[in-house]
Amino acid sequence: MLATLVLSEAAARTAGVVLLTVVTIELGGAFLLRVVRGSIPMTDFQRTFARAGHAHAGVLVTLGLVCLLLAEATDLTGFAAWIARTGVLISAILMSAGFFLSSAGEGRTRPNGLIALLYLGAVSLAAGVVVLGVGLLTS
């Protein structure tokens, strides 16, 4: 038997915006192709962080959309509902930004202070999945 999924207005808007951002992830893939082909000079460290940033963006946006749908099946309200719906999506932004921005700059071989965004993203990811998991188990 198939269940009908009805999204709240907030979830539908969030999903719509997030789906539009997939184009930026696609552009990131095109950028990485230029890096791999040697058109854009980067250190090994920068190439590694560019790949990690791109991969985290794609995976976390996908997981974030799944979490957005799952959050609709909970009884969560207020801030807890917001974290369950958007925690993983926020982590996609923060972690990708942490990888890209902390490695920016000609010849960089070590991350700069913007690596802190990576840790903030990890906190957002953990908060999102824990709140959502608890919300699903208690609904």
pLDDT at 2 over 70: no
The SS3 of residue 34 is helix
Domain boundaries, the chain: 10-138
- Residue pLDDT, tens place only, 6-51: 889 999 999 999 999 999 999 999 999 999 898 999 999 999 999 9
Q: List the helix and strand counts (H, then E) for the chain.
A: 4, 0
- Specify the pLDDT at position 54: 94
- Could you tell me what percentage of the chain is helix, strand and coil, using 3-state DSSP and rounding each to the nearest 5? 75, 0, 25
**What letter does residue 8 receive in the DSSP assignment?**
-
For position 81, what pLDDT does the model report? 95
Tens of pLDDT, residues 48-88: 999 999 999 999 999 999 999 999 999 999 999 999 999 99
Environment class of 107 (CB within 10 Å of its CB; exposed 0-12, middle 13-18, buried 19+): exposed
